[in-house]
Amino acid sequence: MSLLEILRFAGRGVAANKLRSALTMLGILIGVAAVILLVAVGNGSAQAVNRSIEALGTNTITVSSTARGGTTPSALTVDIAQSLHDPALAPDVRAVSPVVSSAPTMTHAGTEYPVAQFLGTHPTYFGSSNSPLAAGAAFTDQDVAQGRRVVVLGRTVATELFADTDPVGQQVTVGGALFTVVGVLAEKSSASGFADPDDLAVAPLTAVQQTITGYGPVNSILVEATGPDRVNAAQQQVTQILNQRLDLPAGTTATGRGGAGADAAPYRIQNAAQLLATRTETAQTFTVLLGTVAGISLLVGGIGITNIMLVTVTERTREIGIRKALGAPRRTILTQFLAEATMLSVLGGGLGVAAALIGSRFTIVGVQPVIVPSSVALALGVSVAIGLFFGSVPASRAAGLRPIDALRYE
């Protein structure tokens, strides 16, 4: 008897009780769809986090001051910042931008806007922080040297103050001083839950010190490494120079994570690559967790198949007895019931994949799911395996029935 005919018998068995078959398939459908979709959600959120971190620049190090007193000897100054740019002691540092930061109110023609970050820095900041300009031009080293009052606006600030008109060439008032807008930054992709990266304005360091913050220490120093793989080396060199300049013991480290101990350095170093690695790890844990929960629901679906096949075998004991009396070999009966279980799980699995593909077109809890192709193959493979594995107990029970017992069964 050919396999095709056994499959036809099995198909008839599946079709004989449509509601029951459909409900069994639903169990597998939900399991498979959950595995694919939840893994896709985890993957999608990991990608979103990566994009937002990459937007900050992956080969930068931020040194920020943790000293409380503004002018203590341990504070970061422009001098210290410039000392970090040392081809001999720090060969892996490409650029250094000291940054002072405040949050003043900006005014233009009666419109006021409290900007989140008004930064004073060097022109290298634009390259290091991965902030290209959309219109106009960045200020120059000459502007910094002369303390010219020019400013580059973030997209949000430009929209708030100027609405639809072109801000380049216009003037804004910041802390009583007039600044001329020379450029507008390109919009940064923003991940949900993060602060708006476009709510800032950038001006020459000297101009900001002169008009707003005064000539004190800087808030942070943005250091750009020569490449993403040189970030750790650059961080070591920067730490060494800082410790030397601030008269700290040689072993002192400060990496931002782990909280402040008693002998902590008066500054903190954050590294975008480290941040990226941590976030990626978190996202992976998240994905594994989601996948496991979904896997459990797939297992439950599989147990549903065993259950329903056991019921089917009991219900059809007499039919099995008739088939055996007519000379059906053990193998044929086994194959028929295994095929029925596998049909249920494969149909359920296929519909589950379809449901997941449709579901992935929608945004789920703020995340655009990204299907992982291997999860589709895995879920389908697992659903075939579930049919074979969970169908094997009922099928072997059917095949092992003695025809006289089966025929007598009522």
Partner 1 sequence: MTLHLVGHHHRTAAARTRPVLDVKDLTKVYGQGEATVHALRGVSLTVAAGDYVAIMGSSGSGKSTLMNILGCLDVPSTGTYHLDGVDVSRLDDARLALVRNRRIGFVFQSFNLIPRTSAVANVELPLAYAGIKPAERRRRALAALDMVGLAGRADHEPNQLSGGQQQRVAVARALVTEPALILADEPTGNLDSRSTEEVLGILDQLHAAGRTIVMITHETEVAARARRLVTLFDGRITTDVRQDGAR
Nearest approach in angstroms of CB 322 to partner 1 is: 5
Q: Which of the ranges 58-66, 141-149, 321-329, 386-394 carries the binding residues for partner 1, by CB under 8 A?
A: 321-329
Residue 147 φ/ψ region, left for φ over 0, alpha for ψ in the -120 to 50 degree band, beta for the rest: left
Does 3 participate in binding partner 1 (rule CB under 8 A)?
no
Q: Which stretch binds partner 1 (CB under 8 A): 51-59, 79-87, 88-96, 329-337?
A: 329-337
CB of 9 to partner 1, least distance (A): 9
Q: Candidates 240, 319, 396, 409: give the one binding partner 1 (CB under 8 A).
A: 319
Residue of 251, 327, 361, 373 interacting with partner 1 (CB under 8 A): 327
118: which strand partners?
Answer: 102, 201
CA distance 74 to 84: 15
CA dist 94 and 57 (Å) reads 14
Q: Which region among 179-187, 300-308, 377-385, 400-408 touches partner 1 (by CB under 8 A)?
A: 400-408
**322 binds partner 1, rule: CB under 8 A:** yes
Report the C-alpha gap between 315 and 298 in whole angstroms.
Answer: 26
Question: What type of residue is 144?
Answer: V
11 is a contact residue toward partner 1 (CB under 8 A)? no
- Confirm if 191 and 49 have CB atoms less than 8 A apart: yes
1 binds partner 1 (CB under 8 A): yes
| Chain-centroid distance, C-alpha 98 | 30
Does 171 help bind partner 1 (rule: CB under 8 A)? no
Please report whether residue 384 would count as binding partner 1 according to CB under 8 A: no
Q: How far is the CB of 348 from partner 1 (least distance, A)?
A: 23
Q: Which is nearer to partner 1, 200 or 333 (CB)?
A: 333
What per-residue string of b and e applies to 226-237 under the rule 16 or more CB within 10 Å gives b?
A: eeeebbebbbeb
Q: DSSP characters for 332-359?
A: HHHHHHHHHHHHHHHHHHHHHHHHHHHH
Question: Does residue 325 touch partner 1 according to CB under 8 A?
Answer: yes
Of 108 and 323, nearer to partner 1 (C-beta) is 323
Matching residue, tokens 């961080």: 235
Part in contact with partner 1 (CB under 8 A); list of ranges 43-51, 113-121, 155-163, 324-332: 324-332
Instruction: Pick from 94, 108, 149, 324 the residue near partner 1 by CB under 8 A.
Output: 324
Among 262, 326, 361, 374, binds partner 1 (CB under 8 A): 326
Nearest to 64 by CA among 97, 39, 88: 97
Q: Beta strands 200-204 and 117-121: pairing type?
A: parallel
Q: Is residue 397 close enough to count as binding partner 1 by CB under 8 A?
A: no
Nearer to partner 1, 51 or 402 (CB): 402
Q: Is 12 in the site for partner 1 (CB under 8 A)?
A: yes
Closest among 40, 61, 284, 54 to 189, alpha carbons compared: 54
In the bound state with partner 1, the residue whose beta carbon lies nearer, of 13 and 302, is 13
Q: Which is nearer to partner 1, 188 or 324 (CB)?
A: 324
Q: Would you say 357 and 296 are in contact if contact means Cβ atoms under 8 Å apart? A: no
Interaction of residue 359 with partner 1, rule CB under 8 A: no
Give the distance, in angstroms, between the CA of residue 191 and the centroid of all CA atoms in the same chain: 9
Smallest gap from residue 16 Cβ to partner 1 (A): 6
Residue 329 binds partner 1, judged by CB under 8 A: yes
Residue in 405, 342, 350 with CA at minimum distance from that of residue 379: 350
Locus of tokens 């990266």: 197
Is 343 near partner 1 (CB under 8 A)?
no
**How far is CA 237 from each of CA 98, 230, 248, rounded to the nearest angstrom?**
17, 11, 14
Q: Is 407 in the site for partner 1 (CB under 8 A)?
A: yes
Is 404 a binding residue for partner 1 by CB under 8 A? The answer is yes
- Tell me how many residues contact partner 1 (CB under 8 A): 21
Q: Are the C-beta atoms of 212 and 104 separated by less than 8 Å?
A: yes
List residues binding partner 1 (CB under 8 A): 1, 5, 12, 16, 318-319, 321-330, 332, 402-404, 407
